[in-house]
Structure 1
C-alpha cells in the first residue's frame, strides 16, 4: 500500500553544518515527485532523510517531522532499519552485490528479514524481476553474478532488490546518471509503471527527465554559497516548467544558471 509523505519544517544538519533549512512538502501516494536544483542545494540530503539514510554519516540529524501517513519516522523508539524496509532506495550508480548471483541479489533483503522458504523466495524473485522489467532477460541465468549484467540491467536489478521487500515508498537518487540513453529510457518507462503501486521520489539533474516522469516537481536552491539549501517552490510539473512563480526556478529550468 503506497503511503503519503508529509515533511514539515525539516532542517538537516551534519554536525554544526546546516545542509537543508525549513522544508515543508507533501508527496502524494502513487505519484512521482522530482527534486531538481543545482548541485549542493540539498536535494539528495533531503531524499535521504525520508528513510533516515543520512544518519549513516556521523553527525547527521534533523529538526522537524517526516510523517509516513500517520507514522512519525523520527519518533522515539522508531527503528531506522524498519523505516528503510518501508522506504526503499535506489542509488546513483548501480550497486548489485558483486559476489552474489542475480537471484541472491534480489532476495538478499528477504533473507535478511528472516525468510527462508525456498518456494516463497523463488516467487518473490520472479515477481520482483518482472516488476523491474528484467525477468525475460535474466530468467535463464539467475545463477550468474549480478555484476555480469549491463549497467542498465544492473540498475533494474537494484530496483528489483528494492521492491522485493515490498516497500511503500521508493526513493531514487539520480538513478540514470550513469546510464546510456537506451537504458535511461527503460528506467523511465519502469518508473511510470511502478507508480501504480508505489510513492516515488526521484532526484535528477536532467530537466527533460523530470518533465517526462514526474507528476510534481520541487525546485531547491542555495540562498548563497555556504548557506543551507531551501525549497523554492513545488507544484505540478507542467506548471513548474511552463509557468513557475519564482524567477530563480525559471532561470534554472531555462539554463541561465545551475
Structure 2
C-alpha cells in the first residue's frame, strides 16, 4: 500500500508541534505540498525546519496566523487561496471545574476549536467540489464521546466537531470530497510530556512510564494501556487524507487506544 500525494496541497492548522507537526511530516513524506500553521513566525519557522529535517526535499512552507479569529483565518486564506487537503488540527485543552468555567472561557474554546474549522472549511470546500476531489479532516478527541467531568468545556467543543464533520459530509455527498473526524486518545505529544514530567520525576520513572500510569489511573478502559505516539495518530490522519480512503466519509475514526468502551 503506497500513499502518493504529489501535486496535492495540504494545510494543517496548529501544526507547529504535536499531532499537527507529526501529520505535516507524514503528508510531506507522501509528496504533498505542506503548509504548516501556528500563531507566531518563530514557531512556524521552527516547524518548517523540522519538516525539512525529517523529509528530504520536502515542499513545505508556513503561515503565521491566529485562527481563533476571522481575521486570522482570512490571513491564511489570502496566503493559500486553495487546497486539496485541510486538516483542522488546531485546538486547546485544559482542566477546569464546570462551575468555575466562565462565559469567556467557553467562548475561547468555541472560537479556537470549532469556529476556526468552520471558517476554513467554508472557504476551501467549494474549490474541492469543483475539482471533484478533496479531503477535509477534523481532529477531535475521544473526549467528544467520553466527556471528562473535569473538562466539560473541552469535550463539548470536540463533540461539536463530530456534528460538523458528519453534517458537512452529507452536504458534500457525491462530490468526491470526503469529510471525516479523527478521535485521538491520550497521546504522548510535547504538551503531554511536559504535563507528565513532574510525575515522572517524583516517581523516578520515564516519561513513557508516567504516561502508562496516567492512562491506567485516568483512562482505565484503554486497551493498549499506554499513551499513543504522535506518529500513530498521524498515520490515521495521513491515510484518511489519501486517495486510498475514497470510500471513508462522514466517519468518526477512533485512534484512542480503545478508551471509548463500545463496539462502533
More contact order relative to length (CA 8 Å, sep ≥ 6): 1
TM-score by length of 1: 0.32
Whose strand fraction is larger, Structure 1's or Structure 2's? 1
TM-score by length of 2: 0.31
Whose helix fraction is larger, Structure 1's or Structure 2's? 2
